[in-house]
Chain A
Amino acid sequence: MSDPITRPGVAAPRDGADPTGTSERPASATERGIGRLGDRKKARLDELARASADKGGVSLVRDAFRRLRRNPVAMFGAAIVAVFVLVAIFAPLLAPHDPAQRFDELTKNLTVDSIPGASSDFPLGSDPLGRDFLSRLIYGSRQTLFVGVFATLIGLALGALIGAVAGAFGGWVDNILMRLTDVMLALPALLLAISLVAMASRSSQWTVILAVAIVNVPIFARLLRGSMLAQRESDHVLAARALGVKQRSIVLRHMLPNAMTAVIVQATLTLSTAILEAASLSFLGLGDPDINRAEWGLMLGVDGVRYFEVRPELAYYPALAIIVVALGFTLLGEGMRDAIDPKNRR
């Protein structure tokens, strides 16, 4: 048996002793044979060396992105996320009806122990108030995306700020900030979120967003601070100091960008937990009080649970939607983490 010896590095199609190659140039009898072939290969070797030398560089991010694209699991996650985002954006076009409108043909069939099921006009039937269930489900994606993205962004911004300050200054600043985040981390996430929502005088969707964001602040802060400290001790930061680079540009150009990679991956993973946490709050009745607004957690928690005996689909569909979307973000985040990890680079 003979396996082709291919090594990482220059990859090129195999160039055997094919007759077409020799016929490209006028072949005289003396030129033929091993020596001739050797010359040709040598020429190709030089050509390849030149080609690889002229090629522009591939940055770390592009390299990671390339690896991400080769990871089918991550791509599956990305596909879920893409579909979810598209549905949220084009919800008005996709939804057959207005999610807040109560339809007479549905309400008239509504009784305590019967909720109208699927019909040609309403593919998933009615909700307990006689509204189109499918439309509410589609519009619910908007609400979920909105809450998830804002909660994550606010959490990321606050956490990154705290982490960066702690990591850049170190010493007692670091000590105080980190003890504060420790206190926040010590409280169970959901309990903290519930207390924060309960503290608000009037709950709106922003109280949910803020509560979920604040729950995530210490996670981001710790993460960024940890990787900033690791960067501080790293050789390339020491090298920059040896070069005489100013402290400010060391922090901004070397420490922060390198430390942020881990945080951005975490943010993708946090999107899924933020969606789950927001849904949990709605489920517990601490969410948005506006009953007309479609929200998956609310649909699951209020209608789904109350009418589970009557029409379990009311619980199944929102639950499935939450699980699939959270899974999508998790798979994508894990894939990103693997792609960025330098150990996987080859």
Chain B
Amino acid sequence: MTERTGPLVELRDVKVHFPIKSGVFIDRTVGYVYAVDGVSLSINKGETYGLVGESGCGKSTLGRGLLRLVEPTAGEIVFDGTDIRSLKGESMRRARRRMQMIFQDPLSSLDPRQSVESLLVEGLKAHGLAGDKAATTKKLREALAAVGLPASALSKYPHEFSGGQRQRIGIARALVLDPDLIVADEPVSALDVSIQAQVLNLLEDLQNERGLTYLIIAHDLAVVRHIADTVGVMYLGGLVEEASSDDLYREPMHPYTKALMSAVPVPDPVVEDRRERILLAGDLPSPTNPPAGCRFHTRCPWAQPTRCAEERPALREVLSGHRVACHYAEDIAAGRIRPHEVEPELVRPDEGAAPGDPGELIPTL
């Protein structure tokens, strides 16, 4: 592991709200999707921050908001001392070199008409780093070697590779620019089980060699636990719990984290037979109309008649380095509050924006 110094990225109360528009000629805003609603977190240099949550919780939007691929509505994003949100046009474009992204679907994120060489060289050209031809080719070969692909891959096209290899190309494309931060949005969930491990190992090796900082966004708790140093759990646009990976696994404190953890199947029948499941009632409420108070109180088996429905709990440090957004975290941990039955509330899919829909992408070049 590389040495850890201060934070590389700091998010302060970041909000991303997507307007829901309707109207034939003139678009009228009829409401908002509160995709990300006030998230604060910081990622240290050389660290891996894992963001987990189910579809529609806003984790992908947060990742894209951080890179300003969607425009945050409010809040501050400080990257290495600069507030990214204050950057405009060309200076924002230049700043992108240092923060790269890896996508979920390796095929759709690679332009099918371009050879691997032109895919990789594109970033270099955009930042004026593609000087003379020999040096560029050397750089590309190095990047490919770093992700375990032969140099002959340069002349091929994305569709000629397998899923795992395509994801390696996606990683190489990010690496060529020698970034500090890599945001990986579900980097392995589109891959076959036996390939996932290869890519996860590769990400770890690259971090050790180059001191990269990662923000890994995934729905798979086991993947995040494996790779991340710090884990943040998101529910309906907000961070509900944040702790070091080991602490979070050893003692999940937020009711939602508890339920999420107990729901992850473990490939071991001995564990499966013994474990107790906390089954959540009903579905995720719509992010266009999130419940008042604690967002989780409609499904929470520990919900209390007071405070939960009225007051939105802030993320507060309950144990050292362990932040939880729950009014009753201590009481639940100490066993003073017992779980109870929850009547499932009916949730309807939204007519307009589906949960998890990143909405309209606002160009920020």
The answer to A–B direct touch (Cβ < 8 A) is yes
On A, residues with C-beta under 8 Å from B are 53-61, 63, 175, 232-236, 238-247, 249, 253-254, 257-258, 342, 345
B365 A242 Cβ-Cβ under 8 A? no
CB within 8 Å for A241 and B69 given contacts A59-B157, A249-B126? yes
A232 B122 Cβ-Cβ under 8 A? no
**B96 on the A face (CB < 8 A):** yes
CB within 8 Å for A244 and B93 given contacts A236-B109, A238-B69? yes
Known: A238-B109, A242-B96. 13 other contacts (CB 8 A): A60-B113, A63-B157, A236-B112, A239-B103, A241-B365, A243-B100, A243-B122, A244-B123, A245-B123, A247-B363, A247-B365, A253-B114, A254-B111
28 examples of A-B residue contacts, CB within 8 angstroms? A56-B155, A57-B157, A60-B112, A60-B157, A60-B159, A63-B159, A235-B103, A235-B108, A236-B111, A238-B103, A238-B109, A239-B101, A239-B170, A241-B69, A241-B364, A242-B69, A242-B96, A242-B101, A243-B123, A243-B126, A243-B177, A244-B94, A244-B127, A245-B122, A245-B126, A246-B93, A342-B159, A345-B159
Chain B contributes a number of interface residues (CB within 8 A of A) equal to 41
Using Cβ atoms and an 8 Å threshold, which residues of chain A touch B363? 241, 247
Q: Which residue of B lies closest to A236 (CB)?
A: B111
**B97 on the A face (CB < 8 A):** yes
Q: Which residue of A lies closest to B156 (CB)?
A: A57
- Secondary structure at the B interface, as helix, strand, loop or mixed, is loop
Report A66 CB to chain B, min CB distance, Å: 13
On B, residues with C-beta under 8 Å from A are 25, 64, 67, 69, 93-97, 100-101, 103-105, 108-116, 122-123, 126-127, 150, 152, 155-157, 159-160, 170, 173, 177, 361, 363-365
Using Cβ atoms and an 8 Å threshold, which residues of chain B touch A239? 101, 103, 109-110, 170, 173
CB within 8 Å for A342 and B112 given contacts A243-B100, A243-B123, A245-B126? yes
Using Cβ atoms and an 8 Å threshold, which residues of chain A touch B150? 53
Using Cβ atoms and an 8 Å threshold, which residues of chain B touch A345? 159
Report A51 CB to chain B, min CB distance, Å: 11
B160 A57 Cβ-Cβ under 8 A? yes
Using Cβ atoms and an 8 Å threshold, which residues of chain A touch B105? 235
Bound state CA distance, A59 and B122, in angstroms? Answer: 18
Point out which of A55, A59, A175, A345 has the most chain B C-beta atoms below 10 A from its C-beta: A59
